Amino acid sequence: MKFLSLATLAGASLLASTSLTMAGPEIVSGPGVDPACFAAWDADTKFMQWPAAEGPYRIAVVNGFVGNTWRIQMIKTAKAYAEDPSVKDKIAEFKVVSTGTDAPAQLGAIEDFINQGFDAIITIAVSPDGFDRVIRLADRENVVLVPFDNVLDTDAVMQVNEDQTEMGRQWAQFLIDELAAQGVTGGKILEVRGLAGNSVDRDRSAAIHAAFEATGGDWEIVEVVGNWDDGTGQKVTADAIAVHGEFAAVAAQGGTTGVVQALIDAGHKMVPIAGESENGYRKQLANLSGDGLKGISIGQSPGLVAISIKAAISALEGNVMPQLISVPLPVATYDQLEDGVNYWSDLPDNFFTVNEFPPCGVNISGPAIMSQSEADVS
Amino acid sequence: MNSLLSSLAISMRQNRGFYGALFLLSAIYLIYNILHPRGFSSAVFVQNANESVAIVFVAMAQTIPVLMGGLDLSVGAVMTLASCIASVLVNGSPLQIVFGMIVTLASGTAFGFANGLIIVYGRLQPIIATLATGAIAMGLALFIRPKPGGDIDGDLNWALTNSLWDFVDTYQLFDPDALWFQPIAWIPTPFLIIIVVAVVVWIPFRRTVTGRTIYAIGSAEGPAYMSGLPINRAKIAAFTLSGFFASCGGLYLAIQTASGNADITQAGAYTLNSIAAVVLGGTSLLGGIGGAIGSLIGALILRVISFYFRILSIDPLLQPLVEGLVLLAAVSLGAIGVLRVKNRLDLFR
């Protein structure tokens, strides 16, 4: 039986290796182009190379869900980046569609753009599975498909993301260090989680738990689900404080502005906190760190879309690319915050501060996008 | 010939909503193909068909309760439940695959049957009962598939999401390049699936006493009861058939994505869109008028409207607004008959 499946596998790979049945990227050996921007995920990451195509290129962004600040900022960033002088000449046509959380519609939109002869398609997958068919079609037509943020459970396409496990680990480590400095080596930690069933939430949470366990301290981690949303985060934090009284520290995956607001409203003492990169949260850190709200802010940046577009263009030019691109975590601690640089006290709470990646030449700042009208950025 | 024409004319007068929808669909789909760089090709047709199957089946599922004057809020959830069941069962040997499909369809049908029993013998309003059972279906789906994934047969995925040529080619049924096969080789398999299910299941069903009773209940339940029609049987049958159509959608969704995903937002979106499709297809929300074929057309109109965003350059953040306006316009077209009403009492019918 095993021999049979091996033989089928060998036969299938033989078929796949002939150019007639399947085009698409070739697996090559590294290193890839521009490693400062396109960093390989780890030592085992494969490298891919597409046949070089003539520019300028037609590029589409197929978004799923739309309706929260992060996604809107992402779409505006994508549009602004497509007009950036460094890539403008390389893009012949640029389209953005949002399909909602509807897997067939998203798959259909991707397939439609392949049919229309687009060269690259950037997408935030609505589900980590189910893209086999469009991957096969994209390979057949040599279209570069780049999922980012919510990536796919496959190594057959080039993907762009931040390391969620590392993010969770750094959050937890910051809290552990801050607490150790106060002489605290055990106690209750409040963890505000994200959307249930999502791989990002799962990876971040597992890393937080692992880091606290590794200290050997007597920690009790209380989990609540905040859905990465300010309102929900505030409510569940208030509930948790009402039930548990006091926490030694807080680790929030998102909706951090609301979480801190709940601490303030409940008269909870200011404790070390780890959170996302919302402008409101960074304002709170800047104002309240003297009272003990010592925090770290690490963001999943909407600017990932710009790096994905840049990676797609690079792949179309025939460069060697890592299959999984790790974008460095944008980290800021309470003592590094500077008004007008990495947070903006005169701007609203609900946009994501980190949008720039200097090693990649992505220099579109969040407030520039969110505070200006559409006409100004494009 | 003459009698055929006159019967067509009568049918058009009686089903103005349906023919209006059909005309609207033909018009917008024709323009879409003209604008598309590869319009009128099999590849575009295959892609469009793939994208539409799930919503078409869910819209057909929604139609039958609506014909009785009720709403089924569980159709999206039953579709999701069926896709999660399929993602576990539809793999292995051909026999196991067929078994998995039958179990998937049977579970959805059974769920619809249970809906019917609860509504008839629990004497509950369909909208409330199905809100509750929909939550149960989502719970079961999450239990079966706590996180997205699955292991659907890859060949099946490729064969059913392509043209007939690829279907024959994948399973080596005969030479797909045979001359006699060419006139139909370009037809998308998903399109054929929809047509076959609609023709084999819906059309015979609406001709039965049970089927006609569903229309009678929607028109006037009291007189239908007084006329000795099998009210309870029709209600249970309606929800059972609704469950069957929803599970057809779920089965195809699972095969199409080669996985299952208990996505609550997606289930909700499908339920709401199914109601929109039913209305677009000329079925009255008050019951008694319309049919599943109309909803099939309505669902396709919904889909084709969204196709336009990919070939026209419309600001991405304005797309939902534009989609909403177009939908409103389309629904208003269906209601244009109101302007011709001579007696205002007709509006309350």
B225 touches chain A (CB under 8 A): no
Query: Distance between CA A122 and CA A135 in Å, rounded?
Result: 12
Average pLDDT, integer, range B60-76: 95
Rounded to a whole number of angstroms, the distance from the CA of A128 to the nearest CA of chain B is: 7
> Does B238 fall in a domain?
yes
pLDDT, position B53? 96
Please say if the pLDDT value at position A44 is more than 80: yes
Query: How confident is residue A104, by pLDDT bands cut at 50, 70 and 90?
Result: very high
B80 close to B269: Cβ distance less than 8 angstroms:
no
Sign of the dihedral through C-alpha A251, A255, A256, A262? negative
Place of tokens 């965003």: B309
Rounded to a whole number of angstroms, the distance from the CA of B6 to the nearest CA of chain A is: 41
Three-state SS at A189:
strand
CB contact under 8 A, B319 and A112: no
Query: Distance between CA B83 and CA B81 in Å, rounded?
Result: 5
Tokens of B289: 């008028």
Among A218-222, B165-169, B337-341, which is the least confidently predicted range? B337-341
| Among chain A residues, CA nearest to B317 | A72
Beta-bridge mates of residue A60: A95, A121
B270 touches chain A (CB under 8 A): yes
Residues 191-220 of B with CB under 8 A from A: none
> Does B343 fall in a domain?
no
- What's the mean pLDDT when you consider all of chain A? 87
Q: How many CB atoms lie within 10 A of CB A319?
A: 17
Residues 48-67 of B with CB under 8 A from A: 48, 50-55
φ/ψ (deg, to 5) at A223: -100, 130
Q: What is the dihedral of CA A10, A12, A15, A21, to 10 degrees?
A: -160
Helix or strand run (H / E) with residue B94? helix B94-121
Closest by CA position to A366, among listed A258, A295, A275, A282: A282
> Does B297 fall in a domain?
yes
Three-state SS at B130:
helix
Q: Which CATH number fits domain A23-162+300-327: 3.40.50.1970, 3.20.20.210, 3.40.50.2300, 3.40.50.300?
A: 3.40.50.2300
Say which CATH architecture domain A164-298 belongs to: 3-Layer(aba) Sandwich (3.40)
Higher pLDDT, A115 or A66: A115
- What's the mean pLDDT when you consider all of chain B? 91
Query: Distance between CA A250 and CA A188 in Å, rounded?
Result: 9
Please say if the pLDDT value at position B334 is more than 50: yes
Q: How many CB atoms lie within 10 A of CB B209?
A: 11
> Does B195 fall in a domain?
yes
Same fold yes or no, A23-162+300-327 and A164-298:
yes
CB neighbour class for B147 (10 Å; exposed up to 12, middle 13-18, buried from 19):
middle
For chain A, the structural domain boundaries read 23-162+300-327, 164-298
Q: What is the dihedral of CA A16, A19, A22, A23, to 10 degrees?
A: 130
For residue A222, how many C-alpha atoms fall within 13 Å in the half-sphere facing its CB?
A: 19
Tell how far CA B5 is from the center of its chain: 29
The count of CB pairs under 8 A between chains A and B is: 122
B219 close to B288: Cβ distance less than 8 angstroms:
yes
The parent domain of residue B285 ranges over 51-310
Residues 74-103 of A with CB under 8 A from B: 75-76, 79, 95-103
Please say if the pLDDT value at position A270 is more than 90: yes
What's the complex ipTM?
A: 0.90
Give chain B's domain count: 1
Question: What would the pLDDT profile of B217-227 be if each residue is shown by its tens digit?
Answer: 999 999 999 99
> Does B26 fall in a domain?
no
Query: Distance between CA B305 and CA B303 in Å, rounded?
Result: 5
